[in-house]
Structure formats: C-alpha cells, structure tokens
Amino acid sequence: MKLQDIRVLVMRVGGTNCDAETQRAFQALGVQAETRHLNELIKQRNLLDYHALVFPGGFSYGDYVRSGAIFARMLSAKLGGELRAFIDQGRPILGICNGFQILVEEGLLPGFDGVSGYPEVSLANNIPQGFKCEWVYLKNLNRGKCVFTSKIPQGKVLRMPIAHGEGRFLLPKEKEEQLLQKLVDEDMVVLRYCNKNGSDADGKYPANPNGSFHDIAGICNREGNIFGLMPHPERAFYWWQQPDWTAQQFMPQFADGKLIFESILEHLTKKL
C-alpha cells in the first residue's frame, strides 16, 4: 500500500492532550492521520476503516480511579467488538504514555496469554514520587518482533522526553522473575531506560526516572502489533524539539522518536 493511502486514527476522549502532535508526526511522514473523539467512533462505527490506531498521551477522563482505567472501560463497553476485530486482524496499536496505561488497563498489554481483559502489570506511582518532565535515554532491546521498532537496530540508544507521574512498570511480585523471563523469551521487551552510553540503568535514578522494574520503558504483545511506551516519541520528532540543539554544531534533521513512526509505516506499506 502507498503511504498516502494509509489511514491512522488518533483516538481521544476528554483529557487526552497529546493528540495534535501525534497526528502531526504521522502526517509529516505522508500518511492520512485523523484525530477522532471516542464519541464519534461510537456513533459512526468506523474503527475498521483505519489501518493503525494510536492512543496518545494525556489524562483521559482525568485519570480518576487509575490512570487510563476509565478510557479502557469505555472502550470495552462501547467499542469492544470492533476493537477485538481490529486486534485479531493484526492491525497495529500504539499507546504513548497515558495510551500505554490505557492498553495495560484494557488488558491488551502485555497479554501474556493473549488479550487478558484485566491489567496484568501495573504502571504505578513514580519513585522518586511525583510528576516528572525530562529527557531520558532508552535502548531498543527488541529482537525484531515489535512492528513499531522494526527500523531501529537492536541495542541502539534513543533519546526522548518523559512526562508522567505514574510510569513505574511493575510485574506481580510473586511471579516477577518468571514473567520477566516470558517477556524476554517472547521478545516482548522493547525499550529500557539506560545511561547515555547505553549501559544498564540498573534501576538507578535518574537514568531510570521512575523506578520501573528491569528499567522497562516500553513493551509489546506476543504478536508484536501492540506497543506501549511511557516516553513521548512525538515530542522527539524534529531536531528543534531536542534539548541540546543550541549546543550542537550539526544537528541531525530529525530526532529519535521519528524512527518509531517510520517503523510502523514501513511495516504497513510492506504488509498491506
């Protein structure tokens, strides 16, 4: 399929607030990207008109109860059938920050044994506590399953900003090692927080900014078509969004986050 024929849906509800820049990143790469309110999709029943679905960052429905929980319940209740079909057809879904929290609450990620329908992991309150907005280093650990990092060499260090108060990735304590092994074996680990030189953050602040288990910043499902990450690739798309461009002699034309958008579009153009 040609790039310009690809249709990406950025889904929002009250409190979503990173939709415009996420849509802009896709549009800059030449695809059709639209932002639609969940209410419109419920009315028009046209989710399956889109080739890829994105849940952008924000504080959906105020993030009351738990971050992403209400949006997830609304999805299941109002759009469950179509969403299931969308997933079963292997269409890609991306969740950024609050979007990641939504995918976890919806039971789409990690999906150890397929869609779970309940949260199997947690994105808990940061340690150190509180909302934090800063740039971090990330390492791509994925061996090739995740369609959102297909263009990023394994082991490559990327830089993107985070902006969240609840991003501490946790596995159930009693099965922690076993489930981690599963994540690794099934190639579901995608991005880990790391030091500038790519060495492990080892859980240490500030390289690991929120206390995530195993420094995990982003994971995908077993099939590799659903991907969630806490950092914001759409805020690391253009060179001038980077924090140190004023200090650089020669700046690359784009920032690292662009690779994620390019990867998924390359996947779609090849597949469709």
In 3D space, the residue among 89, 22, 14, 6 whose CA is nearest the CA of residue 55 turns out to be 22
Distances (CA, A) of 10 to 90, 125, 217: 17, 26, 21
CA torsion 127-192-131-166 (nearest 10°) is -70
- By the rule CB under 8 A, 15 interacts with another protein: yes
Using CA atoms, how far apart are residues 89 and 125, in angstroms rounded to an integer? 34
CA–CA dist 192, 169 (Å, integer)? 11
Judged by CB under 8 A, the residue of 216, 234, 263, 265 near another protein is 234
Q: Please, what sign has the CA dihedral across residues 198, 203, 204, 210?
A: positive
Regarding 115 and contact with another protein (CB under 8 A), the answer is no
Smaller CB separation from another protein, 61 or 100: 61
Closest to 53 measured CA to CA, from 17, 109, 97, 6:
6
* Interface pick for another protein out of 8, 237, 256, 268 (rule CB under 8 A): 237
Establish whether 267 is a catalytic residue. no
In degrees, rounded to 5, the angle at the alpha carbon of residue 64 between the alpha carbons of residues 17 and 26 is: 25
Q: With binding defined as CB under 8 A, does residue 78 bind another protein?
A: no
Report the candidate in 217, 221, 228 with the shortest Cα–Cα distance to residue 55: 228
Nearer to another protein, 56 or 110 (CB): 56
Q: Is 232 in the site for another protein (CB under 8 A)?
A: yes
**Which of the following is catalytic: 18, 21, 97, 214?**
97
Taking contact as CB under 8 A, which single stretch among the options 47-55, 126-134, 179-187, 218-226 is the one that binds another protein? 126-134
Tell whether residue 163 is a contact of another protein (CB under 8 A): yes
How far the first Cα of the chain sits from its last, in Å, is 5
Return the range that interacts with another protein (CB under 8 A); candidates 14-22, 83-91, 148-156, 184-192.
14-22
Q: Is 253 one of the binding residues for another protein (CB under 8 A)?
A: no
95, 161, 224, 228: residue in contact with another protein (rule CB under 8 A): 161
Binding flag, residue 240, another protein (CB under 8 A)? yes
Determine whether 250 is exposed, middle or buried from the number of CB atoms within 10 Å of its CB (0-12, 13-18, 19+). exposed
From the candidates 146, 194, 234, 267, give the one annotated as an active-site residue: 234
Using left for φ > 0, alpha for ψ between -120 and 50, and beta otherwise, residue 180 falls in: alpha
Measured from the CB atom, the residue of 136 and 265 that comes closer to another protein is 136
Tell me: does residue 58 bind another protein (CB under 8 A).
yes
The number of residues that bind another protein (CB under 8 A) is 36
Query: Which residues, in sequence order, are bridge partners of residue 65?
Result: none
Q: Is 168 in the site for another protein (CB under 8 A)?
A: no
Q: Report the residue from 1, 5, 30, 40 that binds another protein according to the rule CB under 8 A.
A: 40
**Chain positions contacting another protein, by CB under 8 A:** 13-18, 20-21, 24, 37, 39-40, 57-59, 61-62, 128, 130-134, 161, 163, 232, 234-235, 237-238, 240-241, 243-244, 246-247
Q: Which residues are catalytic?
A: 97, 232, 234
